Amino acid sequence: MQHRGQESAGIATYEGRMHVVKGMGLVHEVFNELNLRYLRGNVGIGHVRYSTEGASIEENAQPIYLYTPSHEIAVAHNGEIVNVAELREFLGSMGSGFTTRSDSEVIARLISYEVTKRGIIGGLKETVRRLRGSFSLAILIDNRLFAIRDPFGIRPLALGSIDGGYGVASESVAFDSLGGRFIRDVQPGEIVEITPEGFETHHVFRRKHVAHCMFEYVYFARADSVIDGRCVYEVRRNIGRILAREQPTDADFVVPVPDSGRAHAIGYSEESGIPYAEGLMKNRYVERTFILPSQESRVREITMKLNPVRSVVNGKRIVLVDDSIVRGNTMRKLIGMLREAGAREVHVRIGSPPIIAPCYLGIDMKTRDQFIASGRSVEEIARVLGADSLGYISIDGLVEAIGIPKEDLCLGCLTGEYPVKIEGERIRHQCDLEEF
């Protein structure tokens, strides 16, 4: 799942005792023949890191490993915990020491505390009760493997089989790539124990509504994944079609921002009848710029990553389609590059509504003033970007494209209303939980 994180990578396995290898960099930079040989056992978890809480440094690489008097524990976490300060204080008062600032270490120490107190299943259930935020977890407690998805199902988690064994991964595409079979999504609030024979499940909360992150469909997940019954590629194509109906324009070509805007652009082209053309070429050896940790590294990589195809854009009116605009730096730069390559007009169409509020639940969009849409009208944003026109899909259009009811999606960064209680922010009350 390298597209979900590029800062560090790690694996923990168990055979008699826990074996852990982790380090900074991409998977192929961290692992080699030699250290893979050290990872013995027939059960294990792995992680690639994209940081939202805690710095991009080696100490924060996952899986987080804890040695306790009764168990060895390793935890891989995707998401972000909102009540981390309160939990850190509680665990500190119970004698836990912390070696990092990462919220994932707080989860690992909470699991250790609760499992010691209540046994493994009771302890994991209590952990789910106490955590607030988004968490898809893979947990190794000695040789027992567990997967947990938060009660709102904010981040995805897929269950599948490979080579006669079972596993979980952030996205279903992991099983396709490994020649396995995707079985189903881990349900919101479900604790799954994976055994050599299959899997057993436990639930902690009954839910009236869930809150799947809309941004997984718009940008984050791989297009060939299926999340909560929706194929991400089809959702993106639907977004493009609806965008063309809501924000039509006259142009010679629909040009995607590769790769993230491609399916949206295909949908826009199909619906509008304007021909699709690859007017920007991507250097496939440069990684995803949105998930790079610093602004400086993102801007530097954009010109290395994308280059206009002069013969396509010269003298033409272009509809440039992308999945979203967060800070606006990439888009401003691309419009400038297209104009330099001779584009006569550049009309920008965006497959998500304006992002105006922070994400506290696992996507690195933290402060309101970093958003180009914050406090600006669409016309003002178009001016700042240097576009001839700009159009976003509406919230209702996006919900229709995803095909999941509005009450079951997180739209926090679009509306400023969140499914969980966050200090200083508004909450959506339809997302209250009832305990089993």
Positions that interact with ligand SF4 (CB under 6 A)? 154, 213-215, 359, 361-363, 410-413
Shortest gap between Cβ of 357 and ligand SF4 (angstroms)?
7
Shortest gap between Cβ of 219 and ligand SF4 (angstroms)?
9
Q: Does residue 102 contact residue 54 with C-beta atoms inside 8 Å?
A: yes
Q: Which two tokens stand for residue 3?
A: 């597209």
Shortest gap between Cβ of 130 and ligand SF4 (angstroms)?
20
Of the candidates 189, 190, 234, the one whose C-alpha atom is nearest the C-alpha of residue 419 is: 189
Give the burial class of 44: count Cβ atoms within 10 A of its Cβ; 0-12 exposed, 13-18 middle, 19 or more buried. buried
Shortest gap between Cβ of 1 and ligand SF4 (angstroms)?
17
Tell me whether residue 348 or residue 410 sits nearer to ligand SF4 (CB atom). Answer: 410
Element holding 240 (H helix, E strand): helix 232-246
Tell me whether residue 239 or residue 274 sits nearer to ligand SF4 (CB atom). Answer: 239
Give exposure, 199-236, as e/b (b: 16+ Cβ within 10 Å).
Answer: beebbbbebebbbbbbbbbbbbbbbebbbbebbbbbbb
Q: Does residue 20 contact residue 31 with C-beta atoms inside 8 Å?
A: no
Q: 16: Cβ–Cβ under 8 A, 6 or more apart, which residues?
A: none
Q: CA 11 to CA 323: how far, in whole Å?
A: 32
Tell me whether residue 135 or residue 253 sits nearer to ligand SF4 (CB atom). Answer: 135
Q: CA 17 to CA 52: how far, in whole Å?
A: 31
CB atoms closer than 10 angstroms to residue 122: 13
Tell me whether residue 160 or residue 412 sits nearer to ligand SF4 (CB atom). Answer: 412
Shortest gap between Cβ of 199 and ligand SF4 (angstroms)?
26
Q: 99: Cβ–Cβ under 8 A, 6 or more apart, which residues?
A: 59, 105
Shortest gap between Cβ of 169 and ligand SF4 (angstroms)?
19
Shortest gap between Cβ of 360 and ligand SF4 (angstroms)?
7
